[in-house]
Amino acid sequence: MLDMTITPSTQKQKQRDVQVAEIAPETTILRSRTWDRLKFEVEYSRQRGTTANSYLIRADQTALLDPPGESFTQIFLQTLPQQIALNELDYVILGHVNPNRLATLKVLVEQAPQVKLVCSRPGAIAIKATFPEWESRIQSVRGEETLNLGQGHCLQFIPVPTPRWADGLGTFDPKTRILFTDKFFGAHVCDDAIYDEDWKQLDEDRRYYFDCLHAPQAKQVEAAIAKFAAIDAKCYAPGHGPLIRYSLSRFRYDYCQWCQQQKNQKLRVALLYASAYGNTATIAGAIARGLVRAGIAVESINCELAEPAEISQAIETCEGFIIGSPTLGGHAPIQIQTALGIILSTAAKTKLAGVFGSYGWSGEAVDLLESKLRDANYHFGFEPIRVRFSPTTATLDEAETAGKEFAQILKKSKKLRAPRQAITEAQVDRTEQAVGRIVGSLCVVTTQRGETHSGVLTSWVSQATFNPPGLMIAVAEDQNRDILTHPGERFVLNILKEGRNLRRYFSYHSKTLENPFANLATETASNGCLILKGALAYLECTVKNAMPCGGAADRWLVYATVDNGEVLEPDGVTAIQHRRSGSHY
């Protein structure tokens, strides 16, 4: 790194800024940074800030890759002229096009009217739909074409379409051997590190990013990785987070493994949608996150891009399907009507169904989907989700919860339809029987996010250290893992009393939209979480470390120190969970 400036503030001030650094000859990164929660962070339940990475190549001709969205428009366009006179900018290369990025492009084009916009063909269509007057400045990439900027920077374009980003476009610079990957290999985390020197510390954020964005489109992600692997790159430059240089082969391997894990899931849901303005796609992403977190494989299909044969195959091979649509002129788009026809003619009535959609005024498309499927006697995994205009944080939480509920109903229905057999002790795996004889104290872990309190049942707790007093707890993806595995986060461990049935108010799986504390006596601990007054004892804890464990990281092992505690009933006996098998709770 040859040069670095930060404009106009430093990290300590926790303000938005643009971090500038030279990362290769004639190549500069401009990292628009924030430690606040932007819209996508709210959608994905993250609180670690993010960077929106843009790249500037200055050769005989100049090119700007991936300008940030409107959250950074003003500060980015204040910083960019310090690196290059805007009237000397020749190209803007777009890895994908969305309304946020178009907001920045609008201002940039006004200040640099000579600039050419380079994007994929679907990206060009999206731009012209908003700015038809820009048609003459758009340079559409139709295949693996090149753009020669001079001085050895002959950029190679790699189309990498996915259902969520149909216009996906990677860019490789053979002189610097940097592959600009845009939405691939990113992470939503904000710090000063430009490269991934401490890449092990990024494992959790990388996996979370993949699960939120790429798990539902694993098939297309695998195809993109295959294209990237054939390129002799020494560095990946993503749209978010640090550049990948030290863990490049490992990170690519991780993506392949995560995709494979999705393919190996026993139950599969086809998630079909069209999205006129991105709102329906955002809701689809939230539902997909709920499904993925519940251990369901999701095949995400953008009906605007898919062939009927692809939709038919997905419907035939899935155990459940969910279809979403915008309402345009009082109707569902023709692609959704086609998909609905395929479902009605192909999908067995035993398949679980779901419906969602967004609309501006009346929402007829959602009503159409619901009525047609109900008339055909399909059972629904959740009540239809109707969102007017843009989804809110609460709406997206509801959609994610709906995905989890759909998964639980699907799993239950599959068990009910399985052939019934008399299962004896001899038929149960002996190792599982032995593991099941491990007993644990029955506890309720209470956590807090903002004004919301949650509680989840567990018995996977044990003391770990004496000085300081510490404990270990194993948590699953659906046990509020996202607010239990970051150092510094706090919780209360309520140890239950034998004979007092507090456990009936809680589940081994977190349920975001329920309030188990409504009928219970509680008080607030010094760390903000709730103490159950009916518990035998409680411990106020702070997370110190966490690591993924088990196949496909089915649990996280959390080490926390005890800050405070009290025995509420000195004569009580700890409630214990006894199991017959080690394969489930």
CA 350 to chain centre: 29
Low-confidence ranges of the chain (pLDDT < 50): 1-13, 39-45, 420-428, 513
What residues form DSSP beta bridges with 51?
33
Q: What angle do CA 336, 342, 351 make, to 5 degrees?
A: 105
The C-alpha atoms of residue 123 and residue 99 are separated, in whole angstroms, by 11
The C-alpha atoms of residue 425 and residue 423 are separated, in whole angstroms, by 7
Cβ proximity of 534 and 502 under 8 Å: yes
The domain at 265-417 falls in which architecture?
A: 3-Layer(aba) Sandwich (3.40)
Q: For residue 519, what pLDDT is reported?
A: 79
Q: For residue 6, what pLDDT is reported?
A: 46
Residue ranges per structural domain of the chain = 4-261, 265-417, 436-577
Superfamily for domain range 436-577: Electron Transport, Fmn-binding Protein; Chain A (2.30.110.10)
Secondary structure (3-state) at 374: helix
Which has the closest alpha carbon to 302: 328, 274, 333? 274
Q: For residue 13, what pLDDT is reported?
A: 44
With a CB cutoff of 8 Å and minimum separation 6, the contacts of 97 are 119, 123, 126, 127, 167
Tokens describing residue 212: 């939120």
Secondary structure element (H or E) that encloses residue 64, with its range: strand 62-65
pLDDT tens string 101-159: 999 999 999 999 999 999 999 999 989 989 999 999 999 998 889 999 999 999 999 99
ω into residue 419 within 30 of 0, thus cis?
no
Cβ proximity of 197 and 203 under 8 Å: no
Q: For residue 37, what pLDDT is reported?
A: 56
Look at the alpha carbons of 397, 402, 407, 412 in this order and tell me if their dihedral is positive or negative: positive
The count of C-alpha atoms lying within 13 angstroms of the C-alpha of 23, restricted to the half-sphere facing its C-beta, is: 29
Q: For residue 392, what pLDDT is reported?
A: 86
The C-alpha atoms of residue 252 and residue 249 are separated, in whole angstroms, by 5
The C-alpha atoms of residue 402 and residue 414 are separated, in whole angstroms, by 18
Which has the closest alpha carbon to 80: 67, 97, 98? 67
Tokens describing residue 99: 């309304």
Helix locations, 117-232, DSSP H: 121-130, 203-213, 218-229
| CATH number, span 4-261 | 3.60.15.10
The C-alpha atoms of residue 413 and residue 210 are separated, in whole angstroms, by 29
